[in-house]
Each structure stands twice: as C-alpha cells, then as structure tokens.
Structure 1
Amino acid sequence: MFLLTTWKCINRTLGKGALLLTAILISACSDGSRDEKVTTDAVTVDNGAQVQLNGSGASFPFPIYAKWFRDFSRSETGVQVNYQPKGSSAGIQDFIAGVVDFAASDAAMTESEIAEVTQGVVLLPVTAGEVVLAYNLEGVDELKLPRDVYPEIFLGKIDHWQDPRIIAANPNVVLPDSAITVVTRADASGTSYVFSGHLSAINDNFQSAVGQSTTPNWPGGANFVSAPKNDGIAAEVRQTPGAIGYVTYGVAKLTDLPVARLENKVGNFVSPGPAAGGAALANAQFPAGTLPGNNAPNLIAWVPDPTGNNAYPIVSFTWLLVYVDQDNDKAAAMRRLVDYVLSDEAQAEANALGYIPLPQNVREKVREAAQFIK
C-alpha cells in the first residue's frame, strides 16, 4: 500500500512536467518526519553518522537504491549512505579515481578497468531488471514489436508507425500515420550497454553498424533525439507524441508509461515483469574462477538473448563495485549494507518497484563474495 501511494503521489507531483525519480519524492509521500537532505538527483539521509559511504553510478537501479540506502541509513546506527545516480560509466571512473567509497554499474567492469583499481574490487550483483521500450501513442494501450522490427527502429530503418511490419504484428490496433521519434541516452550508460548488447545479439545489421557500447553510435537523423539518464528518456517520451525510447522497467512503472510487448527468442510476445524477468535470469551462468587481481569470485554474468517460453528478452543484473582493501570501519559498514540489501525484506521491495528479486542461490554467492571486503 505504501508503494502504491508513493507512485500515485509521484505521478501527481510530476504532472505533465519533468520526471523526478528521486528520494525527495518518496520521502515527501511518506511520513515526512525525518530530517533529510536530498536533491533531485541523489539520495542523502542526514542521521549524524560517524561513517559515511559515498557512492555514484548507474541510474538503472536508482529507484530501488534510493529506498534501500535511505532505509538502511535510518535503521543502522552510525552509518550514512549517499548515492548520486550519474550513470554507470561516470560511476566507474569515480571508482577508479578513488573519489567514492563504492560505485554501481549495469555494465559491470572490463578487465582493463578492474586492473586500474589498485585496492582490488569486488563486483556484487544485488538486483536485476529489465530494459523496456516505452512509447507515446495516443489510444494504443498494447503494442507488439517483433524481434526483426525493434532493432530496425533503433537503426533508423523503420521510421514510421504505419510500417507494414508493425501493422502486421498489431492487426487490431489503430496506429498513427506519423513518424517514429527514437529517444536514446545522451550520456554514457549501462542501460545503453545492456540494450545495445541485446540488439547486437539478435540482429547482425545492428551488430555491424552500431554494436554494444555504453555510448552507442546511434544512426542519428531528424527522428533521433537524446536525453540524459533513464528519467530524461522517460520525460522525453512522455512529452513527444509518436516517441519510443528505452528505459528500465522500474522507471516506466513509476512514471506510468506504456511499454511494448517484445517477441522473445522462441517467438512469444512477452510483457516485462518479475515473472518474465525471473524466467530470463534462469539462463544466467556465472563463470568459474575469480576476478583478475584478487581471489574474489567472478559474479559477472550476461543473458543477452534468453531462452524460455515466458522469458522477457532484455534483462540484466546490476552490480555494486566495492574496494577489497579499505578503511576498516567503512569495510564493516559496507558488509552490513550488502547483508541488508540481500535480506528477504529488501528483496521483496524490489518486486514492487519493478526489479527482479534475486534467487536465494545468487544471494548466497554474493554474500560469500562480500566477505572479501576488508
């Protein structure tokens, strides 16, 4: 009930203007009894803590991180967690530079990036989510997009809503006689990395022309526009009739944007959601061995094109990046934070906010890896 009320309050607060997916709105819609310092792009809770954990990075998991970090800071005596959702690539660079205590990334880290972290790094998948295609088509409550169509939209090859292939997949839908406006990320992004990786896996033309990247070289043209962060894309889609853009399911859910049903590998059109995302994650296989430079287990796994009748096709873990060697007090606080976000209570909240609760076996792997934080 609290989360439903929160979403309604957020939607009332947003109206038709900019989308502020932030802790300030969640706090404003709850009890309002705490003394909080928050901005529109960060979560900060002032509890007079002796230990502060400052992080930055992915906007993909920000709605759930905002709640987790706020609640942990309120309940944990002497520890305060601050987080700025500036994008996965920016978070990785902050982490390498040592200007944060932890970071978050949907793109994990490359071996070369890991090698730059002299203190050593542990990568911990603490939640997972789906990348969805949100759209703005008046009167269209359900839209199906085949797997040979939506990559072509993001290649600029299909640029009109009455393209015969879209009409064929939606015979009972009145599609507008208008151009498609494609909204992409303006900043380096783990969401872009996951989305472009999926498109590359299912479409050879996309692989050769664009490929997988945190900063894909989109075709451009008059029908392509860009916006920063997930909430920026959501705002652009909402205010642009005929637009389509990629955001996380959690952001689409919180902002009440319709999303397309996508054709998966076995030919079924699937809507995103916890069950469909969980079916996709069932395909994940963690590699054997350890991360380069230390003995922490390698928990980097990708599912670019999941199998399964009910699997949603675009799904990914998202990772916390934590130093192996650090201040003892901060290391202990970080281990407690990891325990908290892996708890049954915290993982149950992921479902309500549009994320995928981690299976118990994955949580155990993460708990074991967190012991390398010293």
Structure 2
Amino acid sequence: MKLRYITFLFVFSSIFLITASAFSSTNLTGAGATFPTSLYSKWADSYQKKMGAKINYQGIGSSAGIKQIIANTVDFAASDIPLTEQQLLKNNLFQFPTVIGGIVLAINIPGIKSAQLILDGKVLGDIYLGKIKKWNHPEIIALNPEIKMILPDQDIAVVRRADGSGTTFVFTHYLSKKNPEWKAKIGEGSNINWPIGLGGKGNDGVAAFVQRVPGSIGYVEYSYAKQNSLAYTRLLSTNNQSVTPNLTSFESAAKDVDWTHSFAQDLTDQKGDNSWPITAATFILIKKTPKKTNDRRIDVLKFFDWAYRYGAKEAHDLDYATLPDSVINQIRKAWETQL
C-alpha cells in the first residue's frame, strides 16, 4: 500500500518537528550496524527530548540487524552492507543511506602517534594474511622512511571482528581491490574465514583489544578510535597520496559519486588526492509494505527526516559526513514514490 499521506507529512514536518505540543508516545526499535551506533544514540536522545518519542537502537552488527528486519522483530535495521536490488525485492525491503563515515586502522605501537605511520592496501592485506609479521618489515619501512628508526622489531597482533559485520564487509571489499592474493584466497564478506587474528565483537570489541594488546592493529569506525584515544594510520589513496582520516577526507571520497540510479554506492578507493580509501555510507532498512496492522514506518521516517533536518551538527561532532542535500532530496522523493 502506498503511503499516500507521506507528502503531507514532510511538508508539515518543518512545523511539526519544532512544535513542543506535538510530543509523541511512539517507541521504535532498531538494530544492526555498530558503525553508526554512537550517532544514532545521540540522535535518539535529542529526538526524545524534542519530540517525546523513544528510539531504542541496538548495535548488534549489520548481519544480525538484517536478519531482524526480515523477521519483522524490529521497526528498522541499520547496515553498512548495501543490499542488492534482488535482495531488497526478495525480502520486501527498502533501503536508504543516512551518513558517511570512515573505517580506520587503529594501532598500538610504542612510540608511534596518530597519522605517523603510513600503510597501503597491498601491505595491509599482507598483514591480515599473516605474511607481514613484524612492524619493521621491509615493506612497511619502504612506506615510512622517515620513521624507520623507531619502527620496532615487534610482532604484529592482528585484530578483526568476530561477528557478522558491515564494517568487515567494507574493509575486506577494500582489501580485495588492492591485494590480489587477498581477493583470491579470502575475498570479501561480512563474516569471512580469517587466516589469523584476535576476534572482537563489534567496533567497541575491536577497539578494546587494540587498546590492551601492544603491537596490535585493528579496523574500526573512526569515532571508535577517537573515543578510545587510539592512534591510527594514514593510508595511500588510489592517486598514491598519503591521506589522513577526517571529516574532510570522508567527504572528498563521496563528492563525485552518482547517487541518481541507486543508493547502494561503493565509496572505497575513490579518486582524489585527499579521498580516504576506506569510506562508506551506512544504510537504513525498512519493510516496503507494512504489516496488516500498526504501520510504524511513518514514525521511522519521521525520525530520519528529523535527523536529516536537524542532526548535521551532531553528525559532524562525531566525525560523520552528512549526505549532500541533493541526495537527501532524492531519498525523500523515493519515500513518496516507492513506499
């Protein structure tokens, strides 16, 4: 059934969302990606204070979130894995992006500070294959001649996700682009057969391992590295330029992407001297047609419409890049025409 009143909803929302008397008792549940958990929690808190509606979001991993929305046990799911048109059709789902963020390599190497160490996709893949075992390996030194004297003769402790993860999907997708052996032997996916590594649950679990284990390296969403005061590396871009992860380099990776035909865009290894190589959008999934009773999709869309309108500062404060206005307008149009 089309949501015929949705156009009215979004014309009205600019007034509705700032009217104190418009408080709602609606409680919504969402689950999925840990990548945007800190932001969704912040948005939910602000939305409840402004609107009175409670949003309960649990960061349980993209794979688990997808399972829950398919099973109709949550009102919305979040995933860093963009589903294909076939997957969306099969499971009666609609998907749209919310924000853009970066996956960084957090490290715990004595004497090495943030953005001091440079890696590239080939070396990174060899580290996660177990081929490069020491921090003073010749290939790492070749990328870091200025700090070669302080790179320790220390074993590399590899940390990765233990659960089904969209962050893992994006990370392994990048490795598959840059390291042919990784692509041939391991490939990409949300839950792969890791050749080595300590497994942490969620971005917070990986960050905790890196924090505790000297000589370690792990991939986490940028805000988790910052929140846990972890050092992180630079990476070489596809233009062979050294790039530091930050809001500007995430935005650079997304600036030339064409969202017109599909919201499922790959932002990894984009052109541009300052484009962070492991950038990704994160997505919301809702049912395309409602249950027979109590259609709560309107309440989900109210929340994310509010976030698009008023949540940019909170997103930027947590180092997530917001979508271009043109893309947000496309999303609202898709809500009107496809739901």
Q: Shift of the alpha carbon at 1:322?
A: 1.4
What runs of 5+ residues in structure 2 fail to find an aligned partner?
1-22
The match for 1:274 among 242, 247, 253 is 247
Q: How does 1:22-37 map to 2 (within 5 A)?
A: none
TM-score normalised per structure 1: 0.79
Counterpart position of 1:175: 151
Is 1:332 the counterpart of 2:308? The answer is no
- SS of 2:194's equivalent in the other structure is coil
Separation of aligned partners in 2, 1:49 and 1:284: 37
User: CA 1:193–1:170 in structure 2 vs 1: closer, same or farther (change >3 Å)?
Assistant: same
Q: Shift of the alpha carbon at 1:49?
A: 5.6
Separation of aligned partners in 2, 1:122 and 1:368: 13
Is 1:244 the counterpart of 2:211? The answer is no
The match for 1:368 among 321, 333, 336 is 333
Counterpart position of 1:134: 106
What runs of 5+ residues in structure 1 fail to find an aligned partner?
1-47, 289-297
Q: How does 1:283-294 map to 2 (within 5 A)?
A: 283-286=256-259, 288=261
Counterpart position of 1:72: 47
- More moved, 174-183 vs 347-356: 347-356
Q: Shift of the alpha carbon at 1:372?
A: 5.0
Counterpart position of 1:15: none
Counterpart position of 2:281: 317
Q: Shift of the alpha carbon at 1:269?
A: 0.8
- SS of 1:128's equivalent in the other structure is strand
Q: Which amino acid aligns with 1:129?
A: G
Is 1:159 the counterpart of 2:137? The answer is no
Separation of aligned partners in 2, 1:165 and 1:331: 51
Q: How does 1:190-201 map to 2 (within 5 A)?
A: 190-201=166-177
Q: How does 1:81-92 map to 2 (within 5 A)?
A: 81-92=55-66
Cα-to-partner distance string for 1:114-162 (whole Å, 9 max, x where unaligned): 2342xx3221101111110000011111111133311211111111101
Q: Which amino acid aligns with 1:308?
A: G
Maintained 8 Å contact 1:122/1:369: no
The match for 1:58 among 33, 53, 62 is 33
Separation of aligned partners in 1, 2:185 and 2:302: 45
Q: Shift of the alpha carbon at 1:211?
A: 0.7
- SS of 1:161's equivalent in the other structure is coil
Cα-to-partner distance string for 1:92-133 (whole Å, 9 max, x where unaligned): 00011111111000002244532342xx32211011111100
Maintained 8 Å contact 1:254/1:353: no
- SS of 1:89's equivalent in the other structure is helix
| Runs of 4 or more above 3 Å deviation | 110-113
Q: How does 1:91-106 map to 2 (within 5 A)?
A: 91-106=65-80
Separation of aligned partners in 2, 1:64 and 1:109: 22
Q: Which amino acid aligns with 1:314?
A: I
- SS of 1:149's equivalent in the other structure is helix
Maintained 8 Å contact 1:265/1:305: yes
Q: Shift of the alpha carbon at 1:284?
A: 2.2
Cα-to-partner distance string for 1:20-52 (whole Å, 9 max, x where unaligned): xxxxxxxxxxxxxxxxxxxxxxxxxxxx96322
Q: Which amino acid aligns with 2:102?
A: E
Q: Which amino acid aligns with 2:235?
A: L
The match for 1:257 among 211, 230, 243 is 230
> Which structure is higher in helix share?
2
Q: Shift of the alpha carbon at 1:217?
A: 1.7
Q: Shift of the alpha carbon at 1:188?
A: 0.3
Maintained 8 Å contact 2:121/2:174: no
Separation of aligned partners in 1, 2:94 and 2:73: 17
Q: Shift of the alpha carbon at 1:187?
A: 0.1
The share of aligned pairs that are identical, in percent, is 36
Q: Which has the higher contact order (CA 8 A, sep 6+)?
A: 2
Separation of aligned partners in 1, 2:295 and 2:182: 47
- SS of 1:84's equivalent in the other structure is strand
Maintained 8 Å contact 1:261/1:272: yes
- SS of 2:167's equivalent in the other structure is helix
Separation of aligned partners in 1, 2:336 and 2:50: 22
Is 1:184 the counterpart of 2:136? The answer is no
Counterpart position of 1:219: 195
Is 1:121 the counterpart of 2:70? The answer is no
Q: Which amino acid aligns with 1:333?
A: D
